[in-house]
């Protein structure tokens, strides 16, 4: 895929530019990290507000308003309500490539246990009617702050780049459906279609100040599968008069792992996890049905199809072995694998190493987590890249290591980032990436 390239300056043009515009050139000499450090009070204030006021997927109305206000303050032309609570901010700055920078808006139904002064105390009623805590346990508050800082920096330094910037505040990432909703609402037809898509994601294991990126498959296909095994209920003392759905479910749980061990190439990555089994009400009652919930992970489309087809086949076989009705198998909340374009990723790694320091940039291993940022490049056919942002100070990581404990991971009630170094590096890395792609 083509990535915007900088045409070489002519020597005379450089001399003329420096002669005529020396004052303006000097005025924008501060680099993104320096700028972020000077503006850290306002950036941390934004981060604290977002962290203390989290909203669940599909309910990000106030978060969207705040991000729209931040982007508007940076000079973006704002559109809200795209694909739900999605926000789009556009800055046009002459001829050049169109580059998209995306962050996500939603939080998780988790009661925070970090003990930080800015910890979330928000509680809401979820879709099932239960009261749940809400927390930014996946770092979306950092993502939003870094994107807002990047927008402000680039708006303050328009002389350093040329083209069109599209900033995206995406809802419902945790449900795997926000990107699809924005695309269905005309993201690439109503607004300038990007030639490159960029995003960052916090890491709970990488030291603050560092970034990591991987070319190729970086995150997994994610599918949620529900299976309803059916039977004929009855008394536990007379099992021969019933068709037991729990036996079917048990047979399936054991057999489904043979998909990984015997049907998928050992060199391919795949995971099938049964996360929940719901069946029965009492010791001596055989229920009428048993409900299973699975998460399924893979990288390639071919392996994804084989896994889902195999799950259906093995569920049907488990039911058939008990002469039971065919089970109901439903696949939902699917997210395609995240593929970092090789050329773009190689180019950005060089930029990061030059600007942040060789020792501050590493190549990350692939992970089986999922991210619907992948949908943008799959839909639009443009290169994209997401990089990892370190968020935990080295001293704190060293303490966990000395205690032989892993640091709290993402989606943990105890995860918290060291805000200032994380935000500074996030703003710097994303700004350097954009400047390299859009420099005059």
Backbone angles phi, psi at 59, to 5 degrees: -125, 25
pLDDT of residue 334: 84
Confidence class of residue 440 from pLDDT cuts 50, 70 and 90? confident
Query: Residue 214: pLDDT band by 50, 70, 90 thresholds?
Result: very high
Residue 122 in tokens: 């928000």
pLDDT in tens, 396-425: 999 999 999 999 999 999 999 999 999 999
- What per-residue confidence (pLDDT) applies to 29? 64
User: Which range is least confidently modeled, 6-10, 136-140, 236-240, 393-397?
Assistant: 6-10
pLDDT at 245 over 80: yes
State percent of the chain over pLDDT 70.
93
Q: Determine if the pTM surpasses 0.75.
A: yes
User: What is the per-residue pLDDT for 5?
Assistant: 45
Residue 137: DSSP 8-state? T
Q: What is the pLDDT of residues 161-208, one digit of tens each?
A: 999 999 999 999 999 999 999 999 999 999 999 999 999 999 999 999
For residue 368, give Cα distances in angstroms to 9, 98, 137, 175, 296: 44, 30, 18, 16, 10
DSSP letter at 260 equals I
In the numeric block, which tokens belong to residue 390? 């370190």
**Under 8 Å between Cβ of 390 and 212:** yes
For residue 11, what pLDDT is reported? 38
Q: Is the pLDDT of residue 308 over 60?
A: yes
- Cα–Cα distances (Å) from 34 to 39, 44, 201, 393, in that order, read 9, 15, 22, 19
Q: Which residues does 4 contact at the CB level (< 8 Å), separation at least 6?
A: 96, 97, 99, 163, 195, 196, 437, 438
Is the pLDDT assigned to residue 95 strictly greater than 60? yes
Region 253-275: what's the mean pLDDT? Answer: 97
Quick check: 15 pLDDT over 60?
no
Is 178:84 a contact under the CB 8 Å cutoff?
yes
Of the pLDDT bands very low, low, confident and very high (cuts 50, 70, 90), residue 127 is: confident
Interhelix angle 40-52/140-156, rounded to 10 degrees, is 150
Q: What is the mean pLDDT of residues 342-367?
A: 97
* Averaged pLDDT for residues 206-221: 97
CA distance 58 to 176: 11
Average pLDDT over residues 31-49: 98
Give burial (CB, 10 Å; 0-12/13-18/19+) of 53: middle
E strands, 258-327, in order: 270-279, 285-286, 289-298
**Sequence-distant (≥ 6) Cβ neighbours of residue 183 within 8 angstroms:** 83, 375, 376, 379
108 secondary structure, DSSP code: B
Q: How far is residue 181's CA from residue 100's CA, in Å, rounded to a whole number?
A: 17
Round the average pLDDT of the chain to a whole number and report it: 93
Give the three-state DSSP class for 54.
coil
Read out DSSP for 342-370? HHHHHHHHHHHHHHH-GGGEEEPPP-S--
Q: Which long-range contacts (CB under 8 A, 24 or more apart) does 191-194 make?
A: 191/79, 191/88, 191/90, 191/166, 192/90, 192/92, 192/98, 192/164, 192/166, 193/98, 193/380, 193/382, 194/98, 194/99, 194/100, 194/166, 194/376, 194/380, 194/382
Give the relative orientation of helices 419-438 and 342-356 as an angle to the nearest 10 degrees: 120
CA distances from 129 to 58, 67, 107, 125, 132 (A): 15, 28, 18, 5, 9
Average pLDDT on 57-82 reads 98
The residues, any chain, with a CB within 8 Å of residue 132's CB and separated by 6 or more, are: 109, 110, 111, 123, 124, 125, 126
Whole-angstrom distance, CA of residue 32 vs CA of residue 355: 10
Confidence grade of residue 9 (pLDDT, cut at 50, 70, 90): very low
Tell me what the mean pLDDT of segment 57-85 comes to: 98
Q: What is the dihedral of CA 291, 294, 300, 303, to 10 degrees?
A: -60
Mean per-residue pLDDT, 46-69? 98
Confidence of residue 13 (pLDDT cuts 50, 70, 90): very low
């Amino acid at each position: 895929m083509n990535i915007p390239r900088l045409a070489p300056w002519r020597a005379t043009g450089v001399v003329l530019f420096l002669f005529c515009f020396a004052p303006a050139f000097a005025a924008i000499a501060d680099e993104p990290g320096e700028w972020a450090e000077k503006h850290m009070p306002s950036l941390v204030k934004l981060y604290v507000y977002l962290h203390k006021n989290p909203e669940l997927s599909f309910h990000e109305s106030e978060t969207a308003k705040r991000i729209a206000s931040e982007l508007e303050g940076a000079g973006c032309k704002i559109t809200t309500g795209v694909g739900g609570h999605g926000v789009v901010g556009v800055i046009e700055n002459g001829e050049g490539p169109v580059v998209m920078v995306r962050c996500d808006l939603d939080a998780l139904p988790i009661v925070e246990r970090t003990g930080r002064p800015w910890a979330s105390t928000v509680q809401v009623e979820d879709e099932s009617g239960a009261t749940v805590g809400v927390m930014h346990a996946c770092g979306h508050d950092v993502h939003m702050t870094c994107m807002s800082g990047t927008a402000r920096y680039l708006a303050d330094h328009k002389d350093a780049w040329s083209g069109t910037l599209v900033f995206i505040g995406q809802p419902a990432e945790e449900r795997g459906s926000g990107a699809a909703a924005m695309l269905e609402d005309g993201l690439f037809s109503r607004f300038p279609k990007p030639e490159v898509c960029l995003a960052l994601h916090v890491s709970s294991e990488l030291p603050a100040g560092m970034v990591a990126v991987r070319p190729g498959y970086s995150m997994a296909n994610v599918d949620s599968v529900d299976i309803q095994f059916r039977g004929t209920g009855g008394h536990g003392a007379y099992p021969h008069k019933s068709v037991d759905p729990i036996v079917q479910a048990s047979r399936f749980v054991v057999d489904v792992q043979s998909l990984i061990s015997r049907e998928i190439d050992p060199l391919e990555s795949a995971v099938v996890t049964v996360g929940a089994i719901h069946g029965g009400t009492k010791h001596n009652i055989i229920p009428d049905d048993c409900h299973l919930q699975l998460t399924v992970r893979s990288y390639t489309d071919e392996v994804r199809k084989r896994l889902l087809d195999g799950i259906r086949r093995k569920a049907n076989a488990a039911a058939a072995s008990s002469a039971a009705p065919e089970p109901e198998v439903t696949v939902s909340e699917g997210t395609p694998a995240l593929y970092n374009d090789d050329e773009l990723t190689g180019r950005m790694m060089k930029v990061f190493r030059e600007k942040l320091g060789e020792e501050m940039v590493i190549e990350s291993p692939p992970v089986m987590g999922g991210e619907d940022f992948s949908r943008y490049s799959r839909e639009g056919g443009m290169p994209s890249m997401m990089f990892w942002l370190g968020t935990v100070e080295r001293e704190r990581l060293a303490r966990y290591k000395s205690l032989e404990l892993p640091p709290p991971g993402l989606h943990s009630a105890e995860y918290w980032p060291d805000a200032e170094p994380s935000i500074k590096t996030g703003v710097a890395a994303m700004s350097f990436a954009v400047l390299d792609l859009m420099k005059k």
